[in-house]
Structure 1
Amino acid sequence: MAEVRIVAEPRTEFGKGPARRTRRAGKVPAVVYGHGRNPVHISLPGHELMRALKTPNVLLSLDLDGERELVLPKAVQRDPIKGFLEHVDLVLVRLGEKVTVEIRVTLTGAAAPDTLVDQQLVTLAVEAEATHIPGGVDVSIEGLVVGQHITAADVALPEGATLVTDGSHIVVQGLAAPTAEQLDAELAEAEAEVGIEREATDEEQAAAAPAAEADGAADSGDGAQAQPPQS
């Protein structure tokens, strides 16, 4: 994985007020820690950092007061509504050091007809060198059939990466696709639970019509019966 070089500036003011001023200036408050060193508070250029974080597990090369530090994003805080970066925690790493990270699982290929693909894991935890973290892993589901599954141990990892996730965990499996009747029955059950009354379909109305006519005829016949004479 290529390093992304980014210039950092030290921060000497802390708290919500200074943090807001930092963000208004187009920068993001951050803290660097790890390897037993005291935390270092810095600010990073917002646009450059936003672009860098689009790469999962991006390795950042910080230029701080002429010193170069390698760091990995540990925690990223974003505004829940507008999505802009509020704060970033960065952990120090060294060349050759191994770290545990989550990498994304991407499914490729097409399952067999009438097979519902059920992906249980969207990421896998792996151990890799900090400077050689894989961007993700592809898992082929070509021809996957009902009852077949792929576990974490079955996934071919990139060279240099070691699986940390329990190998017995299912990554993806093939299930029987529900029929239209099953889906309709599940929907009707869910609607009944919340008190929604469904209108009868044309087919249901047509099927119920003969029975309704027969009931009507029976009621008419009963009404036409002679009444017993009054004494």
Structure 2
Amino acid sequence: MSENKLAATTRTEFGKGAARRLRRAHQIPAVLYGHGTEPVHVALPGHETMLALKGAANALFSIEVDGKAVLALAKDVQRDPVKQVIEHVDLLIVRKGEKVSVEVPVTVTGESAPGTIHLVETQALALEAEATHLPEHVEVSIEGLEAGTAITAGEITLPKGSTLETDAETVVVTVTVPQVTADDLAADEAQAELAEAQSAASEAAAE
């Protein structure tokens, strides 16, 4: 995992008003914490931070603040629920070689047997991995699997250097046959009746 280098500035103003002013200036409020240090409140460059966090789980940063560079992981990213703009970031200070606990998203590869579908029961796995070599995802292959198959966390091949923290018996992916519900049947029947009525109306109009 490559480091995203950012230059941060320390914050001296706090509260919602100060945060709004920062965001208007295209900066993002953040806090650096960890390793027994006092939390440091900083402002990050908005555009560069958003690009680094876009679709990236557990993004690793090299933050330069007050002339000193520290490594940090994005642990909590708060976004506006409507605009989806980043409002605040919590950054955990880490060191090279240090193991940390992270949530890593599950990615399904391959196709199950014909006539089946797969369901992702667990969207992410808790792993322990080296802070500077965190996996971006965990791959789960469903190639050729038959209906009734369930893949548990303990059966998944983890990225090199990672240790599973999620319960090994946790079901991650299941393969099943699509179920037709009474509502589905009623909807199909209603659609067929509507099509029949429209056809009859068209024939009557033609006569």
On whether the aligned pair clears a TM of 0.5, the verdict is yes
User: Where in structure 1 are there 5+ consecutive unaligned residues?
Assistant: 192-197, 206-231
Structure ID, larger Rg: 1
Q: CA RMSD in A?
A: 2.2
Query: Over residues 182-215 of structure 1, what are the superposed CA-to-partner deviations in whole Å (9 max), with x where a residue is unaligned?
Result: 33x23467x8xxxxxx68838999xxxxxxxxxx
- Structure 1 residue identity aligned to 2:22: T
Shift in CA distance, 199/164, structure 1 to aligned 2, threshold 3 Å: closer
SS of residue paired to 2:8 = strand
Give the match for residue 156 of structure 1: 157
Shift in CA distance, 187/93, structure 1 to aligned 2, threshold 3 Å: same
Give the match for residue 60 of structure 1: 61
Shift in CA distance, 204/73, structure 1 to aligned 2, threshold 3 Å: same
- Structure 1 residue identity aligned to 2:34: G
Distance 1:109 1:167 in 2: 22
SS of residue paired to 2:51 = helix
Q: TM-score, normalised by structure 2?
A: 0.87
Alignment of 1:110-149 (within 5 A): 110-149=111-150
Share of identical aligned residues, percent?
A: 52
Distance 1:81 1:44 in 2: 22
Shift in CA distance, 9/176, structure 1 to aligned 2, threshold 3 Å: same
User: Where in structure 2 are there 5+ consecutive unaligned residues?
Assistant: 198-207
- Structure 2 residue identity aligned to 1:33: Y
Give the match for residue 183 of structure 2: 186
Distance 2:191 2:58 in 1: 52
Give the match for residue 36 of structure 1: 36
Are 2:44 and 1:51 aligned?
A: no
Distance 1:117 1:13 in 2: 50
SS of residue paired to 1:44 = strand
Give the match for residue 70 of structure 1: 71
Are 2:89 and 1:88 aligned?
A: yes
Distance 2:20 2:174 in 1: 47
- Structure 1 residue identity aligned to 2:4: V
- Structure 1 residue identity aligned to 2:136: G
Alignment of 1:165-180 (within 5 A): 165-178=166-179
Q: TM-score, normalised by structure 1?
A: 0.78
Query: Over residues 91-134 of structure 1, what are the superposed CA-to-partner deviations in whole Å (9 max), with x where a residue is unaligned?
Result: 11111111111111111111101112121112111000101101
